[in-house]
Amino acid sequence: MQNIEKNLNQIRAQILQAAKRYERDPDSVLLLAVSKRKPAADIRHACQFGQKDFGENYLQEAQQKMQDLQDLEICWHFIGAIQSNKTRDIAQSFDWAHCVDRVKVARRLSDQRPATLPPLNVCIQVNLDHEASKAGIELAEVADMASAIAQMPGIRLRGLMSIPAPRDNFEQQRAAFAQLATALESLRQEGISCDTLSVGMTQDMEAAIAEGSTLVRIGTAIFGERT
Ligand SMILES: *Cc1c(COP(=O)(O)O)cnc(C)c1O
């Protein structure tokens, strides 16, 4: 049994420390607890220790947990690949979708977002290292895609998300995140209001915070290894 309280406190302390070191406001870095393939009971446990944001990759699994945890106030983030035939369910049940990488998918999410809910928060996924195994668009395509989706009424473009390939050292990790931070800043200069850089996992969280991450996605270090 993992000690979720202890793990959460440890991660929070690391975020605080990194924020201080790089002169960031600690409150500007949101901790997203990635709960994929972990039971609803673990999420409930984390909620008791003040965690509100949870990330899920698999739709059906997430829907089951949402049902089990209806009594809790949770902000649900979809962080998996988005297939076109899943957009309706994602638009209906989630607060965020981090992996938008097609205009068509963005349009479907926007059209299918229930009018009773606030717009779905979305990030554009960037495939920084051109990896065939990963989703996302090239950095050079970000500006066009952002302007294509920024005005869609059912979604609210919040920023960029990426999972860079592992780097050998801290400086290389920082350099990768800096490219994303620059791209986000260019969007802002073009008048597209974005406030989110969804980068940083267990291995590269500090470098991500150094370069302006506003949302780190941490699973194993909170909930333990997935089986
Ligand atoms: C699984 C996952 C994470 C968390 O990974 P850990 O190694 O468990 O911390 C973060 N982001 C995405 C997109 C994921 O799929």
Q: What was the pLDDT predicted at 227?
A: 85
φ/ψ of residue 95, rounded to 5: -95, -30
What's the pLDDT score for residue 91? Answer: 98
What is the pTM assigned to this prediction?
0.97
Q: What is the pLDDT of residue 175?
A: 98
User: Could you tell me the two tokens for 143?
Assistant: 């500006």
* Contacts of residue 151, Cβ cutoff 8 Å, sequence gap at least 6: none
At 99 the pLDDT is 98
Cβ 136 under 6 angstroms from ligand 1: no
Rg value, the chain, Cα = 17
pLDDT beneath 50: ranges in the chain:
none
Tokens of 158: 């919040």
Cα–Cα nearest to 178, from 200, 193, 157: 200
Sign of torsion over alpha carbons 156, 123, 14, 222: positive
Which pLDDT does position 2 carry in this prediction?
67
For residues 59 and 39, is the Cβ–Cβ distance under 8 A?
A: no
Tens of pLDDT, residues 42-56 = 999 999 999 999 999
Q: To test ligand 1's pocket by mutation, which of 217, 220, 222 has the most ligand atoms within 8 angstroms of CB?
A: 217
Number of neighbouring beta carbons within 10 Å of residue 32: 23
Walk me through the domains of the chain, giving residue ranges and CATH numbers. 2-223 (3.20.20.10)
Mutate to test the pocket of ligand 1, among 201, 203, 220, 222 (most ligand atoms within 8 A of CB): 201
With a 6 A CB cut-off, is 201 part of the ligand 1 pocket?
yes
Which pairs count as long-range contacts for 183-186, CB under 8 Å and 24+ apart, including other chains?
A: 183/126, 183/139, 183/142, 184/159, 184/160, 184/212, 186/143
Number of separate helices (H) and strands (E) present in the chain? 9, 8
Provide the percentage of residues in the chain whose pLDDT is more than 90.
99
CA distance 116 to 92: 10
54-75: pLDDT as tens digits: 999 999 999 999 999 999 999 9
- Does 81 sit in the ligand 1 pocket, CB within 6 Å? no
